[in-house]
Amino acid sequence: MALVALTHGEEICGSYALDLLLRERVRPRRGRLSLLFNNWRAHQRWDPFAPNRAFYIDHDMNRIWQQAHLDAAEAGVELDRARELRPFIETVDVLLDLHSTQQPSPPMTLPGWPPRKVAFACALGWPPLVIRDDGAGRLRDWRGLGAEDGTRVGLVVECGQHWVAETGANALRAALHLMAHVGTIDAGTAHAFGMSVPVAPPRVLTVTHTFRARCAGAELESVWPDIVEIAEAGTYLGHDGVGEIRTPYPAAVLVMPVTRPRPGAVMLRIARDTGS
Give the pLDDT confidence score for residue 241 in this predicted structure.
Answer: 94
Residue 276 pLDDT class (50, 70, 90 cuts): low
pLDDT tens profile 91-105: 999 999 999 998 899
Give the pLDDT confidence score for residue 188 in this predicted structure.
Answer: 85
Q: What does the pLDDT average to over 19-29? A: 96
Q: What does the pLDDT average to over 64-78? A: 95
Give the pLDDT confidence score for residue 187 in this predicted structure.
Answer: 82
- Residue 18 pLDDT more than 80? yes
Q: What does the pLDDT average to over 262-269? A: 92
pLDDT tens profile 148-202: 999 999 999 999 999 999 999 999 999 999 999 999 998 888 888 876 666 778 9
- Residue 232 pLDDT more than 80? yes
Per-position DSSP letters for the chain, written without gaps between them: -EEEE-SSTT--HHHHHHHHHHHTT---SSS--EEEETTHHHHTT--TTSGGGGS-SSS-TTS--SHHHHTSS---HHHHHHHHHHHHHTT-SEEEEEEEESS----EEE--S-HHHHHHHHHH-SS-EEEE---TT-GGGTGGGG-SSSS-EEEEEEEEETT-HHHHHHHHHHHHHHHHHHTSS-HHHHHHTT--------EEEEEEEEEE--STT-EESS-PPTTEEE-STT-EEEE-SSSEEE-SSTTEEEES--SSPPTTSEEEEEEEE---
Give the pLDDT confidence score for residue 271 in this predicted structure.
Answer: 97
Q: Phi/psi at 212 (nearest 5 deg)?
A: -110, 155
Name the nearest CA neighbour of 119 among 89, 158, 90, 148: 148
Q: What does the pLDDT average to over 4-8? A: 98
Average pLDDT score, the chain: 94
Distance between CA atoms of residues 3 and 195, nearest Å: 17
- Residue 57 pLDDT more than 70? yes
Give the pLDDT confidence score for residue 256 in this predicted structure.
Answer: 93
Compare 125 and 138 and report the one with higher pLDDT: 138
